[in-house]
């Protein structure tokens, strides 16, 4: 029986691999026999009215879950902005309606067993003037996955993000997405993680384990 049927995917920053991770989770949860849905409540940097990340996720999910064909891309990405900036800036400082995000999530959830929600940027990205991505995560109160990078300098961002989630009482897992400095990770970052953490997961090596933890483990 599922413990968590909503998973919020965030990251230490932008361009860390959230969309890649969500795509893989769509695939594996579908193989597990679940119908999977996706939603990216806010996407910036939208060109020609096509939200690239949201569209990629939507098309991937529809291949496995035909019920999603009843939905439109505007229901998958309810807030779309052209400027490639934080939502607060990209929106022209117009208030982004959090209730509309909640309604959109509830709408998509009708068509799936597990709903994957992809955030924008990192935890302290401003959605509104005094409302950040971490505030949305806390308000939604869903199991969260933090995606961390492998490149030089990532230790600082990763520890700060983990600390923020812990201090916010968010139930979360975290994973390292190895895509930059792949050959250097073993030398420049992993030795510290080996000493500091009792356990940590590299996404490419532990996808099935992580996928199971996210939906079946309470904490």
40 assigned to active site: yes
Q: Which residue of the set 40, 60, 143, 164 is catalytic?
A: 40
What is the rounded distance in angstroms from the CA atom of residue 118 to the CA atom of residue 141?
Answer: 14
Q: With beta carbons less than 8 A apart as the criterion, state whether 101 and 76 touch.
A: no
Q: With beta carbons less than 8 A apart as the criterion, state whether 25 and 113 touch.
A: no
Backbone angles phi, psi at 42, to 5 degrees: -135, 130
What is the rounded distance in angstroms from the CA atom of residue 43 to the CA atom of residue 117?
Answer: 12
Helix, strand, coil shares, percent, the chain, to 5: 45, 20, 35
Catalytic machinery residues: 40
């Amino acid at each position: 029986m599922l413990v968590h049927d909503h998973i919020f995917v965030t990251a230490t920053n932008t361009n860390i691999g959230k969309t890649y991770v969500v795509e893989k989770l769509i695939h594996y949860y579908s193989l597990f026999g679940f119908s999977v849905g996706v939603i990216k409540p806010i996407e910036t940097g939208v060109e020609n009215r096509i939200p690239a990340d949201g569209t990629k996720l939507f098309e991937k999910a529809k291949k496995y879950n035909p019920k999603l064909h009843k939905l439109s891309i505007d229901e998958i990405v309810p807030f779309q902005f052209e400027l490639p900036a934080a939502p607060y800036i990209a929106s022209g400082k117009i208030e982004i309606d959090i209730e509309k995000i909640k309604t959109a999530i509830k709408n998509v959830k009708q068509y799936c067993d597990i709903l994957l929600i992809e955030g924008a940027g990192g935890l302290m990205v401003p959605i509104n003037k005094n409302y950040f991505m971490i505030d949305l995560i806390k308000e939604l109160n869903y199991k969260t996955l933090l995606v961390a990078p492998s490149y030089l300098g990532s230790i600082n961002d990763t520890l700060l993000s983990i600390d923020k989630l812990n201090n916010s009482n968010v139930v979360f897992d975290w994973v390292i997405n190895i895509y930059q400095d792949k050959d250097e990770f073993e030398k420049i970052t992993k030795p510290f993680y080996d000493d500091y953490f009792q356990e940590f997961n590299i996404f490419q090596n532990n996808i099935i384990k992580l996928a199971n933890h996210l939906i079946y483990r309470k904490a």
